[in-house]
Amino acid sequence: MKSLCHRMILLLFALMQISHLSAQSYRDYMRSGNRLFRDSVYDKSEVDYRKVVELMPRFAQGYFNLGNALLWQQKPKEAMQEYEKALKSETNKSRLATIYHNMGVILQSQKQYGPAIECYKNALRNRPGDDGTRYNLVLCQYLLKKNPPSDQNQSSNQENKDGSGQNKKEDKNSDKKDQQQQNKQQQQDQQQGKQDQKQQDRNKMSKENAEQLLNAAMQNEKATQDKIKKAMSQPQKRRLEKQW
């Protein structure tokens, strides 16, 4: 009986030691990855961060930092996947806001303004006082209104034009139907724009900043493009340099 009890104690002690070594290892990899990231050695920092999440599968900061390392290697798709993993286990509101902000920057750079808007809104729900995120949100809303999603019916129209079995009467009917669908889509886009404006008011967006942005855009198109590039680069760089 004493022998069995002694073995149990030794086993428990061994497990505690293993757990301690694992925790120490993931911290070492985290520190090494952060140091390499600050030195712009992103490929090697990626290796360290992957070891972190392998040792600590529910460690949100590890996935976030891994996403940053991938993004700085021009791998936005892979970075988004790691950010999404970080969201599943992160509970800190400020960190959640940063994750959503970075996801919004990726989507904005890919001109996916609708999804980017949702990410920025989620970021502001977790950190309402973030002026950088608020500016990006208003900018994306402006860009979405200026460049609405392309009509999917255009591809169908092209297929109809290429079809060899259509006569002139059928082509005219098809064109009329496509035009009706296009008009309907335009009405839906206008309605969506109104809903976005209402949502903007609910989130207490800065009306003054929005007006300044839109007025500048209308006055000088070139200046607007410069603002777009700046908005897509500076906020991203500012946030991505912060490793947890």
Tokens of 183: 């008009």
pLDDT in tens, 13-56: 444 544 444 456 888 999 999 999 999 999 999 999 999 999 99
Rounded CA gap, 59 and 130, in Å? 25
The predicted structure's pLDDT at residue 152 = 52
Which residues of the chain carry a pLDDT beneath 50? 13-15, 17-22, 153-154, 156-157, 159-161, 164-165, 199, 202-205, 207, 217-218, 220-221, 224, 228, 231-232, 234-241
The predicted structure's pLDDT at residue 22 = 46
> Angle formed by the axes of helices 131-146 and 93-109, to 10°?
30
The predicted structure's pLDDT at residue 106 = 95
Tell me if the pTM is above 0.75. Answer: no
Domains in the chain: boundaries: 24-91, 92-149+190-244
The predicted structure's pLDDT at residue 17 = 46
CATH 1.25.40.10 holds for 24-91: yes
The predicted structure's pLDDT at residue 9 = 52
Rounded CA gap, 60 and 126, in Å? 16
Taking phi over 0 as left and psi of -120 to 50 as alpha, with beta for the rest, 205 belongs to beta
Contact 116, 104 (CB under 8 A): yes
The predicted structure's pLDDT at residue 176 = 61
Helix (H) or strand (E) holding 110: none
Nearest to 93 by CA among 120, 57, 123, 50: 123
